[in-house]
Amino acid sequence: MGQTITEKIFSEHVGREVKAGEIIRCDIDMIIGNDITTPISIRAFEESGAKALAKPDNFAIVMDHFIPAKDIASANQAKISREFAYKHDLKLFFDEKDMGIEHALLPEKGLVIPGDVIIGADSHTCTHGALGAFSTGMGSTDLAFAMITGGNWFRVPESIKVIFKGKPGKHIYGKDLILEIIRQIGVDGALYQTLEFTGDTIQHLDMDDRFSLCNMAIEAGAKSGIVAVDDVTKAFLADKELRDSPKYHYSDPDAKYVKTLEIDVEKLDPVIAYPHLPSNGKSVRQAVADDLAVDQVFIGSCTNGRLGDLRIAAEIVKGKKVARRTRMIVTPATQKILKQAEKEGLIDILIDAGAVVSNPTCGACLGGYMGILGDNERCISTTNRNFVGRMGARSSEIYLANSAVAAASAITGKITDPRDL
């Protein structure tokens, strides 16, 4: 019996052939912390008596959720990570001087390599599977164990093979593909499994789409999402000074999967996840029929805050104005994305339309700041979660969508199919 890409990555790290279901001890190539969860890891690290990181050059701290600090509590939280980074002279410490959302920033800097095993104390660490790596979220104490030892224990996950067929139509993106999967299998349909994304559709997806696809694997309960390396991946990596040499792994034709899903992408409309679960997916045509006015539009996050998202939004709002009763917030995922968007004139277009453009941060996504929802407000958001109270008041509503739907809705003031504009 052959192996899946996930089994091959772990086999290469362990030095022998492994199969799904095995519990293994494995070295980790990249450990990722952020300003919210890392202080817990730091406390566990120091309470253990450890004096030095096992792999200091493979440990990154990215200050992305509440930076610049929104209040005294978040400032003190950030201070813990800063003092640790300075004490250990971390070279991979990203603060306000070089800021961005961790799951956009690290691939941008060549720190995520195909074939890596990556962990982070953030559930959306699965984003990095878009580059052919095994990447997953773990708890803060798991992170501390890896900081101390350089490795951790894993149960090698079984895999679900997702076969996408056909070329996506206009304004159908990676976000719609993953929302459709979650609609079909539910928020627990892939518990502790890998979603392996395959099919002829993949060649039509750029890296922005692939990052979105893998980012929301966790919303189906998956341990990871992964896309095998191809020419699109290699082109993305070509201009980067990579941390290490890539290792390309591909699933064998006779690899064992627990399930296979087939999705005809050509039949898809943009998908909207209604409150209060990412699995509550409906066609944008249903949302249009429901005539849903929106108070706020948010374009950003580790799911859809990339340059492609800003280009899509700017193209739709160019020469138009955001509806009078609607707020539009745009948050680029990194400083590099923000700078490039400025060079391309995208920021001027967005601001002229009436949008607010913020510094790179997770910001409104988790109800942190810069876009918190008030009582009974409705938001259409390019983020990954729409749980009760996720972005503010418990009575508020969040509808998840791609960047084109969000931008079109900002112009009309209600959830809109961008193909109708």
Under 8 Å between Cβ of 386 and 399 = yes
CB neighbours of residue 254 within 10 Å:
8
Which residue, chain included where needed, has tokens 């990447």?
A: 135
Which pair of structure tokens corresponds to residue 175?
């976000």
Write the pLDDT tens digit of every residue in 330-385.
999 999 999 999 999 999 999 999 999 999 999 999 998 999 999 999 999 999 99
Write the pLDDT tens digit of every residue in 397-407.
999 999 999 99
* Gap between the Cα atoms of 92 and 97, Å rounded: 12
Residue 347: phi and psi, rounded to 5, are: -65, -40
C-alpha closest to that of 157 among 222, 229, 254, 248: 222
Percent of the chain at pLDDT > 90 equals 98
Under 8 Å between Cβ of 344 and 364 = no
Query: How does the average pLDDT of the chain come out, rounded?
Result: 96
Write the pLDDT tens digit of every residue in 294-303.
999 999 999 9
Confidence (pLDDT) at 107: 97
Mean pLDDT, range 208-231, rounded to an integer: 97
Same fold, 5-263 and 271-420: yes
Which pair of structure tokens corresponds to residue 29?
């190539």
Q: What is the pTM of this model?
A: 0.94
Confidence (pLDDT) at 192: 95
Residue 165: phi and psi, rounded to 5, are: -120, 135
Categorize the per-residue pLDDT at 1 as very low, low, confident or very high, splitting at 50, 70 and 90.
confident
Cβ burial of 343 (10 Å; 0-12, 13-18, 19+) is exposed
The hierarchical CATH code for the domain 271-420 is 3.30.499.10
Could you give the C-alpha distances from 376 to 95, 275, 394, 396, 398, in angstroms and in order? 35, 12, 8, 4, 10
Looking at residue 63, its amino acid is M
pLDDT at 263 over 90: yes
Confidence (pLDDT) at 291: 96
- The matching CATH number, chosen from 3.30.499.10, 3.40.47.10, 3.20.20.20, 1.10.760.10, for 5-263 is 3.30.499.10
Domain range annotation of the chain: 5-263, 271-420
